[in-house]
Structure 1
Amino acid sequence: MTRSAHSIHQQNWLHDIASELRRRAPQWAMRLSQAETQQEFLQTICELFTLTNAVPAERDIPVDPKSLQAKIDLFINDNIHRGVTLKVLSQFLGYSEKYCSDLFHSTMGESFTEYLRQRRLEKATFLLSMSDKSVVDISQALGFSDQSAFSHFFKRATGQSPVRFRSRRGRHHRDALERHR
């Protein structure tokens, strides 16, 4: 395998691992994406691999693809770019907003607002770290009215602007790839 092919294979492998981690343990994926130094990143990795609860038990993963949790996840993921609201979700599910809010909390374990905020933040950190999309394109992909609203949301959530986050993550990502060669 050539050095270039090996590098591409390694990037695909890292992407697959990151995707699986985001799916099964989003809080750990978030912690990894927010690490600002190599030491923080490595410390988080060490903590992650010493935890038995990092990957949920099979009973925690929806088996029925038509389960309510799977339906909600799929709907939000497929429509996040449209600025999903509780009203839109309740119409999709066929319930009143109040009932949908209570059902959402009991099914997903958190409020709709918190859940949507987490999904947007996870997707934003992923897109800023792993894609070359502009901040404007990312804000549209996440359903924000404009780049300013997205930047304000991101800075409140992470303590840094999307541009600063991207420049720091890009440097850490390049350094990590170089160490693996």
Structure 2
Amino acid sequence: MMNDAHDLTIPTDRLRTLSSELRAQSPQWADRLEQATTEQDLRNLVCDLFNLSHALPSQKESSNETHTLSGRITRFINENLHRGLTLKVLANFLGYSEKYCSDLFYRIMGESFSGYMRRHRVERAQSLLTTTAQTLAEVATAVGFSDQFAFSHFFKRATGRSPREIRSRLTVHAMQKAL
């Protein structure tokens, strides 16, 4: 028996159930589902959701949802730090509103998005400054800054030391060890 895709109908009560399940994960997507009035609207929504399916935990992951989502967030930030991430970019990646994403981020990660990003950028920059020969401009780019002057200002304000001080202390320490 062949099924024609146009004959596929979803009962209204099942759509409501799907909508409420989705609302628990992402209110923004649930709103879009409830606003779908045509088959094309529903197709577009399903395609969009399919493209973002990595952001929603599967049923077998739901018991470990917080751990899974924190891993996804951490991985996304690590892989995209050089792009100058914003809360808006993360919210779009997860399919959430910025406000919801901000609250969720704090609940899962234990600190604000901006605090996490500041700490993560400083840690990555310190590691690059002490373990590589990358220029300051290269380090700045690697942690999401478009120029080394903005990076140097940020780094000094965050650590009390300039990137050059960190690197020169490393050089002096290495020379002392060699003697």
Query: TM-score surpassing 0.5?
Result: yes
* Alpha-carbon separation, structure 2, partners of 1:152 and 1:110: 23
The structural deviation recorded for 1:145 is 2.1
CA deviation map 1:82-134 (0-9, x unaligned): 00000000000010000000000000000000000011000000000000000
Equivalent residue for 2:115? 114
The structural deviation recorded for 1:138 is 0.5
Q: Secondary structure at the match of 2:111?
A: coil
* Alpha-carbon separation, structure 2, partners of 1:175 and 1:84: 39
From the CA coordinates, give the structure whose radius of gyration is larger.
2
Question: What is the percent sequence identity of the aligned residues?
Answer: 54
- Equivalent residues, number: 116
Q: Which blocks of at least 5 consecutive residues in structure 1 are unaligned?
A: 1-62
Query: RCO higher in 1 or 2 (8 Å CA, sep ≥ 6)?
Result: 1
**Residue correspondence of structure 1 range 1-181 to structure 2 within 5 A:** 67-175=68-176, 178=178
* Alpha-carbon separation, structure 1, partners of 2:94 and 2:119: 21
The structural deviation recorded for 1:69 is 0.5
- The residue identity in structure 1 corresponding to 2:103 is D
- The residue identity in structure 1 corresponding to 2:116 is Y
Task: Kindly report structure 1 stretches of 4+ aligned residues shifted beyond 3 Å.
Answer: 173-176
The structural deviation recorded for 1:165 is 1.2
* Alpha-carbon separation, structure 2, partners of 1:71 and 1:161: 32
- The residue identity in structure 2 corresponding to 1:131 is T
The structural deviation recorded for 1:164 is 1.3
CA deviation map 1:49-77 (0-9, x unaligned): xxxxxxxxxxxxxx88x700000000000
- The residue identity in structure 1 corresponding to 2:170 is R
Q: Which blocks of at least 5 consecutive residues in structure 2 are unaligned?
A: 1-63
Q: Secondary structure at the match of 1:145?
A: coil
Q: Secondary structure at the match of 1:70?
A: helix
Q: Secondary structure at the match of 1:67?
A: helix
